[in-house]
């Protein structure tokens, strides 16, 4: 039996932190399209269940487009059972809207509550598994682990949404103390909330996994994105990560120590992007690094505009620091020389740290050269 573990789709995210209105709308549409494609992939692959471990939606009131798209995915695939465990971003609006429209929820949509709920599945191949889940909040999180009772003679999948910790503090809400779930008969702990995929041993018997988000939304979500495909058989549960995102986000460090102009730096960026295998469909945050010459001039906005055709979205951040030869300014009678000498003296007196001194020198040189604030 095949089962998909997904979570943190965050449909209807605003996505206006990096994108303008047009691209934000396009990316919102792509989140829904990728979700629909995942369901089609499941149908084509003979998947019998999809586990949604929280944060299917990003906002309490979702758009009609998202509501209708998700409902269509469920209704068009009655052979797939959807196990929807709500996370901290999910609200009741979707379920209430569906009830108002249909009078009841689709038969193949299975829900959970604040207490443990279990469903027993038998696959077409005769394999069996029990799926147990609970929606966690500040009130029940302290007693959930102690109240979990599983039949250790069966294969068990447990679903939760929260942040993994070794031990939970009294005030911690929506955290999952892994220590309390060890040796409880869990074969696969399907988690949501963390946006990067992760699969590790839980104990001698089982594993725990965050599948990560289906599509990246920002530069804190770099790396592969997709879902876990679970193969359930008589020997247990085997998990395999499936890359599925339409786009990836990258933070691309580029050494510009040998570059003097924006054109030089653009060449370095293009070479680094090609070496990294970055696609024109991807979103890239370029970080200029290294010790640059004092005469170097990098215009981040110009560089980002010049790279627009190379990537779906690009942002350029200059974190290079000036390479200062203090001795060369020792007898410089210009205002620039006096400025650098004063920074050097303040650094030697311990009034300014080396990193701050480098940033001040870079800014001062730019201002004295009439280039303004970058």
pTM: 0.87
Q: Which of 49-53, 140-144, 167-171 has the highest mean pLDDT?
A: 49-53
pLDDT band with cut points at 50, 70 and 90 for residue 77: very high
pLDDT digits (tens, 9 = 90+) for 228-276: 999 999 889 999 999 999 999 999 999 999 999 999 999 999 999 999 9
Per-residue model confidence (pLDDT) at position 371: 56
Q: What is the pLDDT of residue 330?
A: 66
Mean pLDDT calculated for residue range 333-356: 84
| Average predicted confidence (pLDDT) for the chain | 91
The reported pLDDT for the residue numbered 340 is 82
Q: Which range is least confidently modeled, 24-28, 119-123, 135-139?
A: 135-139
Question: Which of 43-47, 66-70, 127-131, 142-146 is least confident?
Answer: 142-146
What is the average per-residue pLDDT within 18-24?
92
Q: What is the largest CA-CA distance in the chain?
A: 87
What is the pLDDT, as a whole number, of residue 109?
Answer: 97
Taking only the tens place, the pLDDT of each residue in 353-371 is: 877 887 787 777 777 766 5
């Amino acid at each position: 039996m095949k089962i998909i573990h997904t979570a943190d789709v965050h449909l209807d995210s605003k996505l206006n932190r990096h994108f303008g209105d047009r691209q934000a709308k396009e990316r919102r549409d792509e989140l829904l399209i990728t979700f629909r494609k995942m369901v089609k992939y499941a149908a084509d692959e003979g998947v019998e269940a999809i586990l949604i471990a929280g944060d299917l939606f990003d906002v309490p009131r979702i758009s009609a487009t998202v509501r209708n798209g998700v409902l269509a995915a469920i209704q068009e695939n009655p052979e797939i059972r959807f196990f929807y465990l709500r996370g901290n971003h999910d609200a009741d609006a979707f379920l209430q809207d569906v009830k108002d429209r249909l009078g009841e929820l689709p038969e193949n949509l299975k829900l959970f509550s604040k207490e443990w709920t279990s469903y027993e599945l038998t696959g077409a191949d005769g394999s069996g598994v029990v799926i147990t889940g609970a929606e966690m909040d500040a009130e029940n999180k302290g007693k959930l682990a102690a109240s979990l009772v599983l039949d250790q003679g069966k294969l068990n999948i447990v679903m939760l949404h929260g942040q993994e910790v070794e031990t939970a503090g009294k005030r911690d809400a929506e955290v999952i103390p892994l220590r309390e779930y060890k040796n409880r008969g869990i074969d696969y702990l399907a988690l949501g909330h963390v946006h990067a995929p992760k699969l590790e041993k839980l104990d001698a018997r089982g594993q725990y996994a965050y599948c990560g988000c289906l599509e990246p939304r920002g530069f804190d979500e770099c790396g592969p994105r997709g879902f876990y495909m679970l193969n359930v058989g008589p020997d247990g549960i085997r998990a395999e990560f499936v890359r599925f995102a339409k786009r990836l986000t990258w933070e691309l460090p580029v050494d510009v120590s040998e570059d003097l102009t924006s054109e030089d730096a653009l060449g370095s960026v293009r070479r680094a992007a090609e070496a990294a295998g970055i696609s024109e469909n991807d979103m890239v945050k370029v970080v200029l690094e290294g010790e640059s010459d004092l005469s170097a001039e990098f215009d981040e906005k110009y560089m980002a505009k010049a790279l627009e055709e190379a990537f779906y979205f690009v942002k350029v951040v200059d974190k290079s620091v000036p390479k200062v030869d203090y001795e060369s300014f020792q007898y410089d009678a210009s205002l620039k020389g006096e400025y650098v000498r004063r920074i050097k003296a303040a650094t030697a007196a311990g009034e300014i740290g080396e990193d701050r001194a480098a940033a001040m020198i870079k800014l001062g040189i730019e201002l004295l050269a009439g280039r303004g604030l970058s």
